[in-house]
Amino acid sequence: MVQKLAGKIAVVTGGTTGIGLAAAKAFAQEGATVYITGRRQAELDAAVAAIGPQARGVQADSTKLADLDRLYALVQAEQGRLDVLYANAGGGGMLPLGSITEAHFDETFDRNVKGVVFTVQKALPLLDKATAGASVILAGSTTSVLGTANFSIYSATKAAVRNLTRSWILDLKGRAIRVNTLSPGPIHTPGLLELAGPDAAQQQDLLDYLTTQVPLGRMGQPEDIAKAAVFLASDDSAFVNGIELFADGGQAQA
């Protein structure tokens, strides 16, 4: 079987759980050498073990520029180039208008916008060295186009990410670096369940409700997004640039 990412060097930020871990596994299975980041060493070690010998873990927080410098210095020293960058790290909590705090605002924009901007910008020298063009994937969300109660700040960050993609393809014109946004719908991940709190019944209520919002009639799994990420990372999408690819069971289109 031909591997879609054979010989490629990939970085997946926030690669220790959920979508990031599934994408890193899929990249490795398709032949890539994968560097993953995470903030907690124990989870990072477990993820590397789960991915296999083609994985390398780097403890890093994408909101800290020194951590990003250390990540890319390692990739430069060991590989000399970067072919695929999945800026997946991010997240956010729920607060309604009237309860939004400055800390909530700053943390969410730091994780989902500042972190993405500098994750990509600091990778450019390595992406320029990709042997057959590079692929950058930004972590979007259906909230970029759909209003969601109590989730306005997170949603605003994902709308910002969508426009970063549109603008960066113009900044990078002629440099053989593609940039696309991958926007999941409701995906059964630990991060999603955390939004409902620790109570198992409340978590199930959230899953049941979200399932009703998906025309396909089921929740997504991390592997669904990983397959879409492989497409955007590979030469199968060599002429795909600047899009927002919704992997959401039709939610954003209904």
The yes-or-no answer on residue 154 being catalytic is yes
Residue 239 CB burial class (10 angstroms; 0-12, 13-18, ≥19): exposed
Contact 224, 215 (CB under 8 A): no
- Rounded to 5, what percent of the chain is helix, strand, coil? 45, 15, 35
Class of residue 30 by CB neighbours under 10 A (exposed 0-12, middle 13-18, buried 19+): buried
The catalytically annotated residue of 35, 72, 86, 154 is 154
Place of tokens 């605002």: 105
Give the full edge-to-edge strand order of the sheet including 55-59: 55-59, 33-38, 9-12, 84-87, 134-139, 177-184, 244-247
Tokens 């927002």 -> residue: 244
- Is there a contact between 119 and 68 (Cβ–Cβ < 8 Å)? yes
Active-site positions read: 154
